[in-house]
Amino acid sequence: MTVIVVANPKGGVGKSTLATNVAGYLARRGHQVMLGDADIQQSSSAWLGMRPADARPIQSWDASSSDELRPPKGISHVVIDTPGGLHGKQIKEVLKRADKLLIPLQPSPFDMLATRAFVADLQERRRAAGLDIAVVGMRVDQRTLSSENLRDFCEGLGLPVLGYLRDTQNYIRLAMRGLTLFDVPPGQVAKDLEQWQLICDWLEA
């Protein structure tokens, strides 16, 4: 079983958007997927509640409890959506569970400062040394100075950057229906799927 954690201590960076679409991709690939929600707001769980019955199945798990991860038999992938303000013991618990750690990051100086501190904390933790950690830029407008600043910042983190996802209503419209990019005909979201290629490769590696 592979456990993929989506984490950043800064709130509002797109963790739930990234986590749900990761789960949607894995489900489309035929994997048995569970989406764990460790956020007290339970955004990912609420999204699952809106998911159509005929969509590829993704099981729900309330990961906000301190119980050990014991998924049902047959689950091959678990995606965990974590809360903002992640720190201390919570980070330790997340790292204990994770095989892969995905860090979403927006082109905001506040987000970059929080992420720099988070990455520095990870680098000091022995358990993180064996993790496959990567960054994804969220809500990025390639035409802006902030986008250029984000690229420069990411280069300095010393972590692989899997992509810069554009700011589009596609994610919002689909989320309101309990869907992801990977639940609709590819032609409807072709530009976005192109930006996901490296993320998908990383998930399958």
**pLDDT tens digits along 24-40:** 999 999 999 999 887 76
Nearest Cα neighbor of 91 from 82, 99, 100, 81 is 82
Question: What distance in Å separates the CA atoms of residue 183 and residue 55, rounded to the nearest whole number?
Answer: 7
| Number of Cα atoms under 13 Å in the Cβ half of residue 139 | 14
Match 């678990």 to its residue by tokens.
78
pLDDT at 68 over 70: no
pLDDT band, residue 3 (cuts 50/70/90): very high
Longest dimension (CA), the chain: 48
Percent of the chain at pLDDT above 90?
59
pLDDT band, residue 97 (cuts 50/70/90): confident
Nearest Cα neighbor of 1 from 81, 66, 97, 91 is 97
> What pLDDT was estimated at residue 146?
86
Query: Coil, helix or strand for 37?
Result: strand
Nearest Cα neighbor of 55 from 17, 24, 22 is 24
Question: What distance in Å separates the CA atoms of residue 99 and residue 168, rounded to the nearest whole number?
Answer: 30
pTM: 0.92
Question: What distance in Å separates the CA atoms of residue 25 and residue 15, rounded to the nearest whole number?
Answer: 15
Please report the domains of the chain, with CATH numbers, ordered by start residue.
2-204 (3.40.50.300)
**pLDDT tens digits along 126-182:** 666 678 999 999 999 888 888 888 989 988 888 899 999 999 999 999 999 999 999
The mean pLDDT of the chain is 88
> What pLDDT was estimated at residue 202?
96
